[in-house]
Structures are given as structure tokens and as C-alpha cells.
Amino acid sequence: MNVLVVTGIEYHAWQETAPQIAAQLASCPDLEVRLEPDYNILCTDKIFDYDVIFFNFCNLREYEGTKNDDLAVDNIEKFLKSGKGIVIYHFAIGMFEKRIDRILPLIGRVYDRELPPHDPFRTFEVNMIDKEHPITKHIPDFKIADELYTCMGGDLPIHVLAEAASPEQQKKYPMAYLHKYGEGYAFTTVLGHDLRALESREFVTMLRNAVLWLGKKEVPTEPATVIPRQPKI
């Protein structure tokens, strides 16, 4: 199956994380992965050649948009309606912030500037909530060095797969979840701040499993193998 990793704008270190994500996914024999730093591909019909789009991408309202944000969002909507899947990775919950009213129905939760952003970077535990779903079934609870996001706004139905407890907010927050739109699904994980997160075997297994499941492929029971760090782009 074919996977498109879209990147190229984001204040996080996408030049480091994007090639790592692409190579990590490509280490799965069932996945053919293209890394695309020109996010204007979203304004073209080329995206429909892929089974899953992986967004390591965030164009906040302060940032330059695509050549045509409305067309890009139209295409994402058509992609999902057709039964295909997308991955929203970390701060991609803030993508197309100028079109937030259109993005929210597609992905279920969005970046909300009125909410606390995240706990201080630290190691915390991620707990599997749905232990029967193919994405998380064979993944144990795990610890990760990352940001615990607390800024997800919206009240549309989501299927929570994993969560973590915020000491700062004294509340549990979803760390991985699914949202159905049309015949397709958006899988969101707000984990993944930097390369340290991508050194977690459990986390990269979750990413692999999510992409395979979105692409309607069988999810293996064995964990993924963390690959060496890749050169930045």
C-alpha cells in the first residue's frame, strides 16, 4: 500500500522527524512510502494515488498557507469520504487553522489556543485504553519522553485508543484516537515532539499499526524495530 508523508511547514523540527517517520514506516515490507516536503501536493489530484496520508505538517494562522487552502481541504475531505485514511501527527492538530471549522469535522479534535498547551517536557506513562483494537492490541502501556498535550478542542465523537494523565491539569487526556468521517478514518496521536519519541518501540509500533489499519491491511502481532536515526532534510 502507498503512503504519503506530507511535511514542509511546522515550527517543530520537521526536517528531522519527517525523514525518520518516513524511513520508519518504510521499514515495514507492506508499505511504500513517499516523503513530500512540498505541501502544495494537497492541492492536486496526486494525493488520490495513495491509500494513507500522514500529516507531519502544521500551517497555523500565522504561517503561509498552501496555494489554495480551500482546495486542499476539499481534497482531504474527498480522500476521507472515499474510505481512505489519514494520520494526524503531534502538532498537525493545528493544521489549516484558518479553516478550523472545516478541519474539525474531519479529524475530531483541533488545536485550541484557549486551552493549556501541554505539560513540561518529561517522561510519562501512556496507557492503552482499547486493548482489543488492532492498532493497540499488542502494545503494552509504555513510558515516553515527550510533551503531554492538553490543547485538543472539540466535542465530536472519538474512539480513544490510549491516554495519559496530566499532573499539571489533574486530568487524563487522549494520546491516540480515531475519528470517522465518511467511509474513512483519521487517526490522531499528539505524541511525537522530536526524535526522542521516535526511539520508543511502542510508539513506532503504534504508528505502523495505525497506517496498516487505515489502509485496510493486516496488522502484525510483533512489534516494530526502531531504525537508526536518519539524516535531516
The pLDDT of residue 136 is above 90: yes
Average pLDDT over residues 207-233: 97
Average pLDDT over residues 70-78: 98
Domain 2-214 sits in CATH at: 3.40.50.880
Q: Which three cell numbers stand for residue 190?
A: 499528539
Structure confidence by residue, pLDDT tens digits, 190-213: 999 999 999 999 999 999 999 999
Structure confidence by residue, pLDDT tens digits, 19-52: 999 999 999 999 999 999 999 999 999 999 999 9
The pLDDT of residue 10 is above 80: no
Structure confidence at residue 65 (pLDDT): 84
Per the prediction, the chain carries an average pLDDT of: 97
> How far is Cα 122 from Cα 112, in angstroms, rounded to an integer?
22
The pLDDT of residue 77 is above 90: yes
Hey, is 62 helix, strand or coil?
coil
9 pLDDT band, cuts 50/70/90, is confident
> How far is Cα 175 from Cα 143, in angstroms, rounded to an integer?
12
The C-alpha cell 486542499 sits at 72
Structure confidence by residue, pLDDT tens digits, 106-133: 999 999 999 999 999 999 999 999 999 9
114 in Cβ contact with 160 (< 8 Å): no
Residues 6+ apart with CB under 8 A from 170: none
What percent of the chain has a predicted confidence (pLDDT) above 70?
100
Structure confidence at residue 12 (pLDDT): 84
Q: Which of 162, 197, 216, 215 is nearest to 24 (CA)?
A: 197
Position 133, amino acid: H
Is this model's pTM higher than 0.95 or not? yes
The pLDDT of residue 146 is above 90: yes
Structure confidence at residue 154 (pLDDT): 97
215 pLDDT band, cuts 50/70/90, is very high
Structure confidence at residue 173 (pLDDT): 98
96 in Cβ contact with 73 (< 8 Å): yes
Structure confidence at residue 97 (pLDDT): 96
The pLDDT of residue 11 is above 80: no
Domain boundaries, the chain: 2-214
The pLDDT of residue 58 is above 80: yes
What b/e readout covers 47-57, taking b as 16+ CB neighbours within 10 angstroms?
A: beebbbbbbbb
Position 42, amino acid: L
Structure confidence at residue 64 (pLDDT): 81
**If 0-12 CB within 10 Å is exposed, 13-18 middle and 19+ buried, where does residue 223 land?**
middle
| CB atoms near residue 189 (< 10 Å) | 25
Structure confidence by residue, pLDDT tens digits, 176-195: 999 999 999 999 999 999 99
